[in-house]
Amino acid sequence: MYSAFEKKHGTRETVEDVILSKRRFQYEEEIKENPLNYDVWFDYIRLEESKGIKERVREVYERAIANRPPVQEKRFYKRYIFLWINYAIYEELEVKNSERARQVWRACLDIIPHKKFTFAKVWIMAAHFEVRQKDLSAARKLLGVALGKCPKEKLFKSYIELELQLVEMDRCRKIYEKYLEFLPENCKAWVQYAELEGSLQEDERARAIFEMAVNQPTLDMPEMLWKAYIDFEIKCKAHKRVRALYDRLFKRTKHVRVWISRAQFEASLDDVKAARKVFEDADAYFKSNEEAGKEERVMLVESWLDFETNYGSNKSVKIVRDKLPRRVKNKRLVKGEDGSDAYWEEYYDYIFPDEDKKQNTFKLLEMARAWKKQKSTD
């Protein structure tokens, strides 16, 4: 009744106050029912922020963060932690109270059970806050403590990014060393470290880092690491080193992309003879190695044909084109989970010219055997 009266006879301000009171009452009731409903707390905070009375905003924030999740599991803390983050941002940007914002960040970090889980985002945002306050030592200390308590890839990356922005290369190196002690299998980290040295014209340092990387017993993306190492030596125009790297890589893998890459490297130096030799060796390997897979051989011959089209003669183009396979449709029996015959499926296969010759020779031999057998019975 009072609300309806104010809407009819009151001023705009009194109407807004009535609506505000109703919404406050609604939020208080919902919180009373479930104080861990953080979405309601966020709505309540936004309501108070819209009015701009900082004491009331702080009061709601303080009440909200007092409702800590009862179970120490990260999934329960995710929404709760954003209350702290928003609180710190509010104090810094809206109230312009840097010291209080710092206290909020510190309190937030204190309530996280870091031995069970952590939030890299909070450490990073707290450190960035200190950078904005021009307190670099505090920012570094925070990130150092973070890495000591809970080393995470995201923290290493953020710390390195900070030092890069400050052009503190020696600090970057130290962090990369710690990063790679913690994650020695991380190829991206090795490559980024080497590329950093390369960007500083420290080629020998970069080379040493790449060498340490490729000699790690376990790597998550070795193909990416080797490619980066080879690209680095190409950039340095160290062609002998590039060839030596390819030779080492071939001892580890005979993947078709490595063969093609080696051939393209030789072609980029206008060494057509060397590039063709790589394609010929690759074709011989895939022809004799059935486990390599026909798709890889198709890819090789197609790349070889592109090469001959650009660098070869009509004769060399014809030689390679004659190596292209026929695409045929076949059927195969698919087994069920219990091992029984399930259904037939169609698939495409490739028949290379040399396979056709083998099949024809085999058929002739079979016919000869059959004729000989028939003649002996006669």
| pLDDT score for 115 | 92
Q: Is the dihedral of CA 52, 58, 59, 63 positive or negative?
A: positive
DSSP-derived letter for residue 313 is -
Checking if the pLDDT of 141 tops 70, the result is: yes
What confidence score (pLDDT) does residue 378 get?
53
Overall average pLDDT of the 62-81 stretch: 96
Query: What mean pLDDT comes out for the span 154-159?
Result: 98
For residue 368, pLDDT over 70 is answered with no
Q: pLDDT tens digits for 234-254?
A: 999 999 999 999 999 999 999
DSSP 8-state secondary structure symbol assigned to residue 339: S
Residue range 290-319, pLDDT digits in tens:
777 789 999 999 999 999 999 999 999 999
Residue 258 pLDDT > 90: yes
Cα angle: 194, vertex 200, 203; to 5 degrees = 55
Q: Are 228 and 191 in contact (CB under 8 A)?
A: yes
Instruction: Give which of 98, 100, 66, 102 is closest to 83, Cα–Cα.
Output: 66
The band of 181, judged by pLDDT with boundaries at 50, 70 and 90, is: very high
Share of the chain above pLDDT 70, in %: 90
Q: Which of 173, 178, 223 is nearest to 193 (CA)?
A: 173
In this prediction, residue 58 carries a pLDDT of 98
Whose CA is closest to 180, among 147, 213, 226, 221?
213
pLDDT: which is higher, 371 or 83: 83
Give the rounded distance of the alpha carbon of 306 from its chain centre. Answer: 32
Rounded Cα–Cα distance for residues 61 and 45 (Å): 7
> Which residue would you say has higher pLDDT here, 186 or 290?
186
365: confidence class by pLDDT, cuts 50, 70, 90: very low
SS (H, E, C) 219-288: CCCHHHHHHHHHHHHHHCCCHHHHHHHHHHHHHHCCCHHHHHHHHHHHHHCCCHHHHHHHHHHHHHHHHH
What average pLDDT is seen over the chain?
91
pLDDT tens digits for 76-116? Answer: 999 999 999 999 999 999 999 999 999 999 999 999 999 99
Model confidence at 6: pLDDT above 90: no
Interhelix angle for 222-235 vs 187-199, to 10°? 10
Q: Which residues contact 164 (CB under 8 A, 6 or more apart)?
A: 172, 196
Confidence label for 349 from pLDDT (cuts 50, 70 and 90): confident
Helix (H) or strand (E) holding 346: strand 341-351
Q: What is the pLDDT of residue 67?
A: 97
Tell me the chain's radius of gyration from C-alpha atoms.
35
What does pTM read for this prediction? 0.81
